[in-house]
Amino acid sequence: MWDQRYDTAEYIYGTDPNDFLANVVAEMPKGRTLCLAEGEGRNAVFLAEHGHQVVAVDASKVGLQKASQLAKERGVQITTVIADLAEFEIEPDSWNAIVSIFAHVPPAIRRPLHKRVVEGLKSGGILVLEAYRPEQIKLGTGGPPVPDLTMTLNALRDELDGLIFRHASELERDVVEGRYHSGKGAVVQVIAVKP
């Protein structure tokens, strides 16, 4: 599905970074940064432009080819890894930052993935996450088609046990990110640090 969706000259989620990520990049420690479900690379390239050593993971070969092209056009380097997040191994105590922007997967994949995220961060490492909440389904402005694929703050507090939440918010905001995210969005935002 994702290879087909990305198979167009257009960057379907745009080439600008996610607003939340752009607003908090100064709080992120530079170093090894992992971007989950990175798609066409807009966030990975933005982080590389800010001095991060970025590894962008996605299941779509087509999306990551576009990510590499965007990095080349912007004069930065990123590493891309084609992988299913259900099986992707996150090395323990290895990452200065992990970024999860609209990385919507079923709960059976998300829970163990988030456990690996907690284990994968170095001490002092930071997770930046934004995702749609179940309320997004009624808004119809993008995101997953079923509530199971969305996230709530309560569930994230449980799944990210071991991290200290520096910022945690459920809100509605305008999400204008290409063709598939356009309009009022019901989101959850987290900045969490590993002690």
pLDDT of 5 reads 86
Question: What pLDDT, on a 0 to 100 scale, did the predictor assign at position 182?
Answer: 85
Write down the residue that tokens 């507090």 correspond to. 157
Question: Could you give the CA distance from residue 128 to residue 145 in angstroms, rounded to a whole number?
Answer: 23
Position 68 scores a pLDDT of: 98
CA gap 29, 98 in Å, rounded: 10
The Cα 50–Cα 28 span in angstroms is: 10
C-alpha to C-alpha distance for 31 and 46, rounded to whole angstroms: 14
How many contiguous H segments (helices) and E segments (strands) does the chain have? 7, 7
Question: In order along the chain (195 residues), what is the average pLDDT of each group of 10 residues?
Answer: 88 95 97 98 98 98 98 98 97 98 97 98 98 96 94 98 98 91 94 98
**Domain positions in the chain:** 2-193
* Rounded (10°) CA dihedral 111, 114, 116, 118: -140
Would the CA dihedral through 50, 87, 1, 19 be positive or negative? negative
β-sheet bridge partners, residue 116: none
The reported pLDDT for the residue numbered 179 is: 83
Q: Is 152 helix (H, G, I), strand (E, B) or coil?
A: coil
pTM of the predicted model as reported, rounded to 2 decimal places: 0.97
Q: Are 23 and 29 in contact, with CB atoms under 8 Å apart?
A: no
Nearest C-alpha neighbor of 131 from the set 97, 84, 170: 170
| β 121-132/95-101 pair status | parallel
Q: Which fold has domain 2-193?
A: Rossmann fold (3.40.50)
The reported pLDDT for the residue numbered 105 is 97
In this prediction, residue 181 carries a pLDDT of: 86
Which pair of tokens denotes residue 9? 């000259």
Is the Cα dihedral 158, 159, 163, 165 positive or negative? Answer: negative
Radius of gyration of the chain (CA): 15
